[in-house]
Amino acid sequence: MNLNHLAIIMDGNRRWAISKDLDPHEGHHKGAENLWVIIEKIKEINIKYLTVFGFSTENWKRSQNEVYFLLRLLENFLDDAKLKINKYNYKIRFIGNLLAFDKTIQDKMRLVEEITLENKELVVTIAINYGGRQDIINATNEFLKFNKSKLDSIEMKESDFKKFVFNKYIPEPDLLIRTGGEIRLSNFLLWDLAYTELIFLPEMWPDFTVSSLEKSILEYSKRSRKYGE
């Protein structure tokens, strides 16, 4: 069964660190390193799209110290991305309410997107300050603005709505993997995941290996997708 678009909820960084008597930021750092390892493998096995949950709209509720570290980690990730994209043919996108970040981070995200815009090998979408409900509300508002002059007569179709969600330019995920032992979507890609196959794993994201990825893909290949039928 073809796997064109993989989505991942990279959960468990904090719990991984605590289990090893480390500060939570060590888990986030390890998780960011692991993302690059998995990206390289995904490119190798010819998956065309990867969407990962990097920072949710709810993450702002964490402690001030942890939020500060996550923002610094994001900035370091962006600096690292600028170095790696010279070596790899990745296109990197960011989705979510990006205006919540300071100008330095916004400028770095914009630069990474501009530099990688024409890259074709793998499209990596990072959902940051993202929420699935926010995505749907934003898309609805954009649809209403776009059709303001004909609201009395227009009837919204799924294909029309798709044009306004954050991931409007890429296909919907075929498979979602969530690490960390939780069995829920946590407000991630609620519109996009309607017919996506789901795999929930007990291992924390820093422990998610290339072997874990391969086993998940094998499990996916054994399934028969019904698309609501």
Catalytic pick from 4, 59, 97, 119? Answer: 59
Whether 187 sits among the annotated catalytic residues: the reply is no
Q: CA 55 to CA 193: how far, in whole Å?
A: 18
| Extended beta strands in 73-160, E state | 90-95, 122-130
Of 15, 6, 83, give the one whose Cα is nearest residue 45.
6
Q: CA 113 to CA 227: how far, in whole Å?
A: 32
Q: CA 111 to CA 96: how far, in whole Å?
A: 16
How many Cβ atoms sit within 10 Å of the Cβ of residue 61? 8
Q: CA 80 to CA 98: how far, in whole Å?
A: 19
Structure tokens at 75: 């900035």
Contact 187, 132 (CB under 8 A): yes
Structure tokens at 204: 């924390």
Angle at 77 between CA 75 and CA 82, to 5 degrees: 100
What is the three-class DSSP state of 198?
Answer: strand
Whether 59 sits among the annotated catalytic residues: the reply is yes
Catalytic pick from 11, 135, 174, 192? Answer: 11
Q: For residue 70, give the H/E element and its range.
A: helix 64-84
Instruction: Indicate which residues carry an active-site annotation.
Output: 11, 59
